[in-house]
Each structure stands twice: as structure tokens, then as C-alpha cells.
Amino acid sequence: CPPTPLSGDPPVILPTFPGCEYEGQHYEEGATFPSSSNHCLQCSCLRSQVRCVPLKCPVSPCPEPALRPGHCCPTCQGCTEGGSHWEHGQEWTTPGDPCRICRCLEGHIQCRQRECASLCPYPARPLPGTCCPVCDGCFLNGREHRSGEPVGSGDPCSHCRCANGSIQCEPLPCPPVPCRHPGKIPGQCCPICDGCEYQGHQYRSQETFRLQEGGLCVRCSCQAGEVSCEEQECSVTPCALPASGRQLCPACVLDGEEFAEGVQWEPDGQPCTSCICQDGVSKCGAVLCPPVPCQHPTQPPGACCPSCDSCTYHGQVYANGQNFTDADSPCHACRCQDGTVTCSLVDCPPTTCARPQSGPGQCCPRCPDCILEEKVFVDGESFSHPRDPCQECRCQEGHARCQPRACPRAPCAHPLPGTCCQNDCSGCAFGGKEYLSGADFPHPSDPCRQCSCLSGHVQCLARRCAPLPCPEPVLPPGECCPQCPAAPAPAGCPRPGAAPARHQEHFSPPGDPCRLCLCLHGSVSCQRLPCPPAPCAHPHQGPCCPSCDGCLYQGKEFASGERFPSPTAACHLCLCWEGSVSCEPKACAPALCPFPTRGGCCPDCDGCEYLGEYYLSNQEFPDPREPCHRCTCLGGFVTCGRLPCEPLGCSHPLIPSGHCCPTCQGRATPALPFPLLGLPGDKPPTSALP
């Protein structure tokens, strides 16, 4: 409803906020800004009041973060050793052992040995100050070789050199020979004419052998690297008519298998036996294995001759390129390369203690560990005492040396007492009391100052005083803010039947709570309170506005939860619930009698409905179907029976037409209790019944 002014005064104006003055700066209403005196505070200006809260810190990745100087949020603890400091999660290499990598975890140092990738088969030893071997040279048989330098491989027929951590070999050049079929002698690199190589087979000098060429059998001989062959003459046949055809060389049969003359083979299941067919006779012998160019060859399963593809060393087989520790000498590091095992002493890292120890089965001396409270700590490790976290310990030469933990200077001015040190900046200790971070509290000795705690820092400011509209305000005794001198109170407004309203007082007129009035300088302006739409279908009228705590239905008011008969529909029952009315047919209980009356909403056993007629309870009536029967209605039940007749003194009574009882001839029967109904086909009675 539009306002209804009662005078010419202006309407009520809502207050506005001019902004905030904070730390010498002006900020607009609603502005958010960091505090210039404490960068860990985030401030906002709301209703001309400055409210500062601590910065929201992210979740720390470690379980026990600590607040460091110059930081607003707690961070993970770092590690300090030997005058060096590392942050949580930082890794570094120790100066005395480049193969030892250490990492800082929650103030504890954990170290491990660096793993080196194998980039070449024969890498050179690490450079000074580094850990892993490099491929700019070769380390073979306990010696260093520069890249390009010749190396010994154990094969007299090859020339080998170092090539960036690998060994490259080439066969030695051989001089020309003055024969066409020079042979190869075991143990020599170049072919010579003291033997023959013919069709892939080796023959000794002056050795004769047979071959089959072009279907002919030829006989060949080796003479100083030259092979000469001639067709073999056939012997005289013992038969009279020998068959003519191509000549065949003598053949050999071994274990049911035939082999041609001069053929070499290995019998099945005997890999170390070699056979040759000579003059039709199988000649077998052990295979001669050539010398191997390695020192520790391996006999492969099923093979006849040893191989340099792996190493057999002290009864163990090692793969080519495998590094291992000698089981009989654990202080030697060995490597298998092309069938030869080379071993060297293990390089031990330098120790940091004066008296290192070597235990059984250990190659390198190491500093003894420390045992404290049944826990083991390695030499040089710094740790907190297991039972007293206020002591810092260090393991040195098997002894745990502990001393009170040095308390770092708290990064805040008013820290709380911590477990060991007073450096807990999660709250403030001020004036003998402790406060949570973010709490506001009055100054303990100056009531005109308000203090706030933020991460161990306490900031106290004079209470903000509202600007005054007078030119010469005064400070009353015991007050913090000045006030304007008392001025004559503005005129109030008279109210009928009540005390006068004060200046700027809101009130409702007597008897009209639906209007709100304001007294300004002796004048009253009023306006009707607006009514929001009721969220129900049948609200009733409240003191000012429609209300859903009852129902107005068909001009009548009902309380919420009240049930009532429907004023518009018979036999319907309605319910008022929170301002809405719902109606539904009245539920009837089943009748407990066979002939209830149906005049109301539900069947009723107070009377009887029988064959379309209504009867009162205890009423007697003739049976509409049987004129000589009489019925009685009782509580919805109907019982019928035949009318009783008086006894007669004659032996052959008659039932006259239209009568129910028999009569003696010539005598009338007693009258019926109520008139008879006409029966179908009957004539009306001629005389009344007595």
C-alpha cells in the first residue's frame, strides 16, 4: 500500500555509510584490502567498520608444519647439517660421497645410494667428484683405456680397440698364399698351404677323399693347398653280365641311415661325435673343439664346445654384461663380459668418524650406529629424543649426544607457550591471558582501545568514534569518545491515549496495528504496512494481513487442524490445515444389520428398509408378499411369521376366500388383527371381520 502521510514531513530515508578510515587510508564501503602494518591480515570495510581476519592458509603437505619468520602460514620443517640448510623435500649430494643422495623430510635427513644406468658394456670409472661411470673410455681387465686405444681381447686373430665404452674388434689381415685351396690350422689366424679347404671341408695335406660330382664318383687328394680330382675306376664285377649305368661312390649305412662317400655328420643324440664316410666305412670320433678366446667360458646344455656368450665363475653362471659380487670374496666387484670375468676391489666411501668399524662380511668400514630407547640411528643422524621432544640428539661414533633443543626466535611478538619453546604463533599471550588467532578483546589497562590477535601478533587501536555533527564536541569524564553538548530535545508528537512519541520514534496508532508512524520534529507521518501474498488457499484475516494459521471457508472461520461438515456437499467432511481446506466424502462403517435405513449419509440400524418401505424399530407390519404373515422390525433386522388362528370344534373346517384362518361350516372365524391385503384374483371381502 502506498504510504499515507499525516503531515508534510519528508518520508523516512535509510542511512548510508561513508566508507572506512584505516591506518591513514580511506577505503570505500565493501572494499577488501590487506593491512599495511601486518601483511598476514586481510581486511574489509563494511558499514564503516573495518574487520580484519588472518589470511587463509593452504593445507600443508606435511603433518607437523611450523611457522617461520617472515611467513604468514606454517610450512614444513627444513633440515640443518654442517652449517647447511635444506627445505622440506629438497635433495642434495654429499660432498665427500657423490654417490650418496640425501633428502630432507620433516626435519630428518634420509640418504640412499645413487643408482647408475648401464649405458655401455665397458664404461670408464667415474670422474673425480662424480658417481656414475662414463662412456668416454673403457675399463677392461682392471685397466683404464682411452677411447680409440687398442685393448687386448684374448683373441689372437682379432685387433680390438676401445670405442666410447665398447670394444670393437676386426680380424687381422692375412698375407696372400700361393695355393688355391689353403687350409686353416687350429691355433693359427691365417690360412696356409699345409692343408686344404675344399667344398667347406678341411683336409690334411696328402689326404685322399672321395666326392660325388655331376653323378660321377671322383677321387681327390690334397697336396700343399692344391686339390686334384679324377674319376674313380670301377672294380671288376663278380657277375657275368654287369649292368651299365652311372658310377656310384661307395656309401655308408649307420643306424639304418645311408651316407654318401666323403660326407661328414653328427650322429643323433651324440653332439660331441663326428663321423665321415670313407671307402664305404663310417669312421667316427670325438669332435675337436677350437680354443675359445675367453677365460671363463660356459658349456651350454646340449652343446659340445664351450661358449663365450656367458661366464662360469666359481661354479656359478653369469649372463653377459652382468655385474656381481664374488661369493668367495665379497669385497670384489666383478663383471662378466664375453666369457671373461674381471674383478676389482670395491671402492669404499670415506667415513665421517675417527674410529670406523668393519663387521663380519662387511667390505667397507662404517661408523657405528647408536641405540637409544630401543631405536637405531645411523652415524651423523640428527633426531629428537624419543621420550623428550625438547632434546635434540645426534649420533656420533656410536654415542647419542643430546642437549636441550635450541629455541628459534618466534616470528611473532606475542607467541603462546609451546611444547618446548614459547614460539607458538597460532594464538597470542597478552596481558597474562591467552587468545585464539582472530579473537578481538579489550585492552587490559586502557578501556578506550580495542585489541585483536592474529597469528601471534597483537594490534591495539583506539576505539573508533562516530563523526559528530557539532563543531565543538566535549569528552565526558570516563568516556572514550567525545560527544556533542546536550541540545534541547526535539519536540515530540502527541499520541491519543498514550504518552507522547519521542523524536524519530516509530509507533503504531492505538487500535490500528496495521500502520507504522514516525515522529519527526513534532510531526507524524504514517504508512500502511504492506501485506505479502498468503501462501495458502483459504487464509483467514489476521490482525493486519491474511494469515495461514486458520481458514476462512464459505464465510466461516476454522482453526488449523479442525474438521467440519462441508457446507456445500452433503455427506462430505472437510479439514482446515495451515490456511487450506480439503474436503472428501465421509467414510461410513459397514452396517451390522441386513436391512439398515439409508435416509442419512451412512446406513443406520435404528429402523428397517424392507422391500422398499421404511419401518421404525419395534414396528409390526404385514408381510407385503404374504398377506397371512406378520413381520417385525427390530434394530435393522426383520422377522416374519404366519398369523395365529383360534382352535375350532369341528372336524372339517373351511377357509373362506379372503380369509387367513379356517372356519366351521356356517360359523365365522375371529377377526384378523389387521386388514387383509387383496390377493391376486381374489374378490374384495363382503363383510368386515369381527
Is residue 452 classed exposed, middle or buried when 0-12, 13-18 and 19+ CB atoms within 10 A define those classes?
buried
> Amino acid letter at 376?
V
Domain termination site, one of 322, 347, 372? 347
Residue 416 lies in a domain: no
Distance, in Å, from the CA atom of 239 to the CA atom of 252, rounded to the nearest integer, reads 23
Cα torsion angle, 420, 425, 428, 431, sign: positive
Model pTM greater than 0.75?
A: no
Task: Domain of residue 615: give its range.
Answer: 589-645
The predicted pLDDT at position 234 comes to 57
Residue 308 lies in a domain: yes
3-state helix, strand, coil in the chain (%, to 5): 0, 40, 60
The predicted pLDDT at position 676 comes to 39
The predicted pLDDT at position 639 comes to 92
Distance, in Å, from the CA atom of 660 to the CA atom of 169, rounded to the nearest integer, reads 149
Residue 332 lies in a domain: yes
Q: CB under 8 Å to 421, separation ≥6 — which residues?
A: 405, 407, 408, 410
Residue 363 lies in a domain: no
Residue 256 lies in a domain: no
If asked whether residues 552 and 600 sit together in one domain, one would say no
Domain termination site, one of 115, 137, 171? 115
The predicted pLDDT at position 669 comes to 47
Q: How many domains does the chain have?
A: 5
Residue 670 lies in a domain: no
Taking 70 as the pLDDT cut, the residues of the chain under it are 1-17, 63-64, 69-70, 95-96, 153-155, 187, 212-215, 233-250, 253, 256, 269, 352, 354, 358-361, 487, 489, 666-690
Residue 479 lies in a domain: no
Per-residue pLDDT of 604-640, as tens digits, reads 888 998 888 889 999 999 988 888 889 999 988 999 9
Characterize 144-169 residue by residue with b for buried, 16 or more Cβ atoms within 10 angstroms of its Cβ, and e for exposed.
ebeeeeebebbbeebebbbbbbebee
Distance, in Å, from the CA atom of 214 to the CA atom of 200, rounded to the nearest integer, reads 18
Q: Which three cell numbers mark 262?
A: 666323403
Residue 551 lies in a domain: yes
